[in-house]
Amino acid sequence: MTTLRSRAWVLLLGWIPLVVVAAGPSISRGSDLRIPCEVSRLENGLTVILHRDPGSPGVSVNLSYRVGSGLERPGESGVAHLLEHLMFEGSANVPAGAFDQWLEDAGGRGNAATGEDFTVYWQDVPPGALELALFLESDRMAYLAEGIDEERVERQKQVVATERDYLYEAQPYAAAEWAMRLALYPAGHPYATPVIGTPDHVAGLTVERVVEFYRAHYHPANASLVIAGDIEIEPTRKLVRKWFSHIRRELPLRLPKIEPVTLEEDRVVVVTDSAPAPKLSLYWPSAAAFSPDEPELVVLADLMGAAPSSRLQEVLVRERGLAISVSAGQESLRYGGLFSIEVVAVPGQPLSPVLQAVDEVIEGVMKRGVSKEEVRRSVAEISTNFLSEMERVGGYQGLAGRLNAYWVYTGEPDFFAQDLARYAGLKPRSIRTAARRWLGGGRVVLSVVPHQRRELAVASGEAK
């Protein structure tokens, strides 16, 4: 493939070692859980994390940019996600449509995801296709602007519109996310709009604005590259230098300081939808990623609604027959988290008794706490899932992705042992304390009810 020829004009800049951990077994299963890796930085600011696992069937290339929808301008949404789509549309040395085709022809696969805090691209390839993967990533990091034109932007706008229709318009209850964000976050907050963007904002995006966003955020100093799997460290270093060291140097962006969101009282919201049954959703602002109380809230969500034997399942589904399904979760992001409880009621069931039952369960946890056995079971399941995900090198949440996410949030890619230890040491008392701290204040009380059935929703006076 002639496009892979060496760029003779490239000046190989220096390789600056930051942290070096000697290569060894992929995963140590003892008390000292370690993922041997090398962390270095090119002179243009690109952070490079290498992990050698000779037993892996392939190699994962995971490139994360420290930008997501949270860094869009106030009054703007959808540009980060639209740019993710355009990253597959061709760059200076990769014709339109060739990215996926060349990757598939080499036996690899790739994808991407945009979040509030960062956008990540990954390619899983056979070891012999590593250079192809690095070339493809470097070319769109350096030269995507040369492949962005009005035709491609308009085409991807239509793709995004179709995606939005599928994820939101055609799905029962999905429209509730838009209403929740408007109620929970103040105007201008990084998380005030969904990642996919509003239809009018996306429709109004221009080639100039997309290129401006790309140039501001898509550069080496704002990115971290993980290469994990069946690699040799020194040859891989050379390949990274070959394909990335020439890319322009920019100053790393300073992240804005955002005050935590707090609600003094409940905010009651009603949405009508073509839903088969009423749904009650409760949202509390909560702990940020890797902050104190985050592990407690993850376990609390599991005990209250995520596990099959959870307290909300027992009360709302089995005992009282008010609900079809119950779920709970803790989503942790850079500028704060979101603790949620969602209950799909039986058809025709008013949601006020559902809210009362949920509040009784929450009050029980706050007053009487949880048992040692509940915590033990939850932590054991979390630990099992944690270790299981580490067995897979590639994909979105595989080992390479975790190395990169740890680097983005903590500055330490091998954070596996510390992360797991946060859960291993949890006590019932700390779970109850976190419940009192985070679930005792205001929240968004959101009712989604079928059209013409607003009487099933929770009324303003019925919330606390």
In this prediction, residues 176-205 reach a mean pLDDT of 93
Q: What is the pLDDT confidence band of residue 168, given thresholds at 50, 70 and 90? A: confident
Position 199 pLDDT exceeds 60: yes
Task: Out of 124-128, 170-174, 443-447, pick the least confident.
Answer: 170-174
Position 69 pLDDT exceeds 80: yes
Position 26 pLDDT exceeds 70: no
Length of the chain: 464
In this prediction, residues 327-348 reach a mean pLDDT of 97
pLDDT in the model for residue 464: 64
In this prediction, residues 245-250 reach a mean pLDDT of 94
Over the chain, what is the mean pLDDT? 90
Question: Starting at the edge strand that comes first in sequence, how are the strands of the sheet with 109-114 ordered?
Answer: 15-20, 38-42, 47-52, 223-229, 59-65, 119-125, 109-114
Position 335 pLDDT exceeds 70: yes
Q: What is the pLDDT confidence band of residue 15, given thresholds at 50, 70 and 90? A: very low
In this prediction, residues 3-28 reach a mean pLDDT of 33
Tens of pLDDT, residue by residue over 76-125, are 999 999 999 999 999 999 999 999 999 999 999 999 999 999 999 999 99
In this prediction, residues 358-367 reach a mean pLDDT of 97
CA distance 57 to 80: 33
Buried/exposed 362-374: b ≥16 CB within 10 Å, e otherwise: beebeeebbeeeb
Q: What is the pLDDT confidence band of residue 6, given thresholds at 50, 70 and 90? A: very low
- The pTM assigned to this predicted structure is 0.90
Q: Between 248 and 464, where is the model more confident? A: 248
The per-residue DSSP string of 195-241 comes to TT--HHHHHT--HHHHHHHHHHH-SGGGEEEEEEES--HHHHHHHHH
CATH of 267-462, one of 3.30.830.10, 3.30.1360.200, 1.10.1270.20, 3.90.79.10: 3.30.830.10
pLDDT in the model for residue 7: 25
In this prediction, residues 245-258 reach a mean pLDDT of 91
Mutual orientation of helices 130-143 and 98-105 as an angle, nearest 10°? Answer: 170
In this prediction, residues 149-173 reach a mean pLDDT of 91
Q: What is the pLDDT confidence band of residue 182, given thresholds at 50, 70 and 90? A: very high
Question: Which residues make up the CATH 3.30.830.10 domain(s) of the chain?
Answer: 2-244, 267-462
CATH of 2-244, one of 2.40.30.10, 3.30.830.10, 3.10.20.90, 3.20.20.10: 3.30.830.10
Position 14 pLDDT exceeds 50: no
Tens of pLDDT, residue by residue over 205-239, are 999 999 999 999 999 999 999 999 999 999 999 99
CA distance 195 to 213: 15
Q: 418 by DSSP, 3-state: which?
A: helix
In this prediction, residues 185-202 reach a mean pLDDT of 94
In this prediction, residues 367-377 reach a mean pLDDT of 95
In this prediction, residues 37-42 reach a mean pLDDT of 97
Q: What is the pLDDT confidence band of residue 172, given thresholds at 50, 70 and 90? A: confident
- Cβ-in-10-Å burial (0-12, 13-18, 19+) of 346 comes to middle
CA distance 298 to 426: 11
Position 243 pLDDT exceeds 80: yes
CA distance 210 to 397: 28
In this prediction, residues 394-398 reach a mean pLDDT of 88
- Please enumerate in sequence order all residues whose Cβ is within 8 A of that of 115, keeping only pairs 6 or more positions apart, or say none: 68, 69, 195, 333
Position 364 pLDDT exceeds 70: yes
Q: What is the pLDDT confidence band of residue 152, given thresholds at 50, 70 and 90? A: very high
- Tracing tokens 């992240």 back to the chain, one arrives at 255
Q: What is the pLDDT confidence band of residue 397, given thresholds at 50, 70 and 90? A: confident
CA distance 403 to 386: 13
In this prediction, residues 171-191 reach a mean pLDDT of 91
- Please enumerate in sequence order all residues whose Cβ is within 8 A of that of 294, keeping only pairs 6 or more positions apart, or say none: 287, 288, 330, 332, 337, 422
Instruction: State percent of the chain over pLDDT 90.
Output: 82
Position 11 pLDDT exceeds 80: no
In this prediction, residues 53-74 reach a mean pLDDT of 95
Q: Give yes or no for a contact between 84 and 93, defined as CB atoms under 8 angstroms apart.
A: no
CA distance 125 to 60: 6
In this prediction, residues 378-388 reach a mean pLDDT of 92
CA distance 378 to 389: 17
Q: 96 by DSSP, 3-state: which?
A: coil
CA distance 288 to 296: 12
- Tracing tokens 């070891």 back to the chain, one arrives at 127
In this prediction, residues 281-310 reach a mean pLDDT of 94
Q: Between 144 and 425, where is the model more confident? A: 144
The per-residue DSSP string of 430-453 comes to HHHHHHHHHHSS--EEEEEEETT-
In this prediction, residues 29-41 reach a mean pLDDT of 80
Instruction: State percent of the chain over pLDDT 70.
Output: 92
Q: Give yes or no for a contact between 224 and 41, defined as CB atoms under 8 angstroms apart.
A: no
